[in-house]
Amino acid sequence: MTNLLLEVNGLKKYFPIKGSVLGRKVGDVKAVDDVSFSVREGEILGLVGESGCGKSTTGKSILRLSEPTAGEVKFQDQDITSLNAEDMRKLRRNMQIIFQDPYASLNPRHTVEKIIGEPLLIHGMTSAGERKERVQELLEVVGLSAYHASRYPHQFSGGQRQRIGIARALANNPKLIICDEPVSALDVSVQAQILNLMDELRDKFNLTYIFIAHDLSVVKHICDRVGVMYLGRMAEMADKDDLYSNPKHPYTQALLSAVPDPDPDYQRERIILKGDVPSPSDPPTGCAFHTRCPYAMAVCSELRPEFQKVYNNHYVACHLYDDAVQS
């Protein structure tokens, strides 16, 4: 039985909306609204959903790069939401993040050696010689060469820059890496190389990833389990194969219908959702998806569906699977 590495319970992240005249709070943008899940050691959990669904904010709130409004985040059984800044800084060597845009996340005025060496210095590797050696080792681990250490970010391609971002995340031997759309900004051919590299590194260093993406086709090959988010809430979560072959939530079904199938003889019927994603500052009552759902019933606009188990490892928040509503 694999150990749990991370437990997220009732996580909320609200951003206040200020009134224009007196600057008083007039409401909240509910970016993450009561999300719970856990991640096992060595697992890759995908978090998927359209832009604005709260997946990136969930990742940043777990690391407290964006302070949660409420909820509990336990890393190796320790509640980290109450840690002070110094204890959190120490813990961050175990919890790293890779960002979407590898160019924006690398300081253009620093050499690669300085960029990758910085987290080593922050966490106590004060010897310049040791840092240099470690940077060279990390560059080789991610498929670059020791001589790249003296170069600047603009001298690399997008894929190479993301490799530098990965090397920086690996510097202090973390246990968990939150990958925030790490391949979205890359060409399709390069995406596959980076995904393969991340998969190899997971095996080599027993890493655990939370892999955030807006596209179910990207997470299909790399993740063990996938959670689908909609308007700040978890709509469905299941083992990857189960989710792709037997999606339960109407939103997941719509997202999956847009994923091209490799079999040219297989024509999946495309589900086009009506309307746009509602604003998280004024989410619909009941099920947040009811304004776009082809199966919406009267109860859907009144009662928020519980996120509950339908079988084995498969969870869904939808009244279609709620025995109390269906009986």
The binding site for ligand SF4 (CB under 6 A) comprises 249-250, 287, 289-290, 293, 295-297, 300, 305, 318-320
Q: What is the dihedral of CA 205, 206, 210, 212, to 10 degrees?
A: 50
Residue closer to ligand SF4 (CB basis): 88 or 299: 299
Task: Give the C-alpha separation, 266 to 2, whole Å.
Answer: 37
Least separation, in Å, of the C-beta of 20 and ligand SF4?
34
Residue closer to ligand SF4 (CB basis): 95 or 238: 238
Do 252 and 243 meet the contact criterion of CB atoms below 8 Å apart? yes
Least separation, in Å, of the C-beta of 46 and ligand SF4?
20
Least separation, in Å, of the C-beta of 318 and ligand SF4?
3
Least separation, in Å, of the C-beta of 290 and ligand SF4?
4
Residue closer to ligand SF4 (CB basis): 78 or 326: 326
Q: Which of 19, 33, 20 has its CA nearest to residue 280?
A: 33
**Cα separation of the two ends of the chain:** 37
Task: Give the C-alpha separation, 171 to 289, whole Å.
Answer: 41
Residue closer to ligand SF4 (CB basis): 91 or 297: 297
Residue closer to ligand SF4 (CB basis): 227 or 305: 305
Do 212 and 55 meet the contact criterion of CB atoms below 8 Å apart? yes
Q: Which of 101, 104, 78, 100 has its CA nearest to residue 91?
A: 78
Least separation, in Å, of the C-beta of 11 and ligand SF4?
21
Residue closer to ligand SF4 (CB basis): 156 or 307: 307
Least separation, in Å, of the C-beta of 319 and ligand SF4?
4
Q: What is the dihedral of CA 225, 230, 235, 240, to 10 degrees?
A: -20
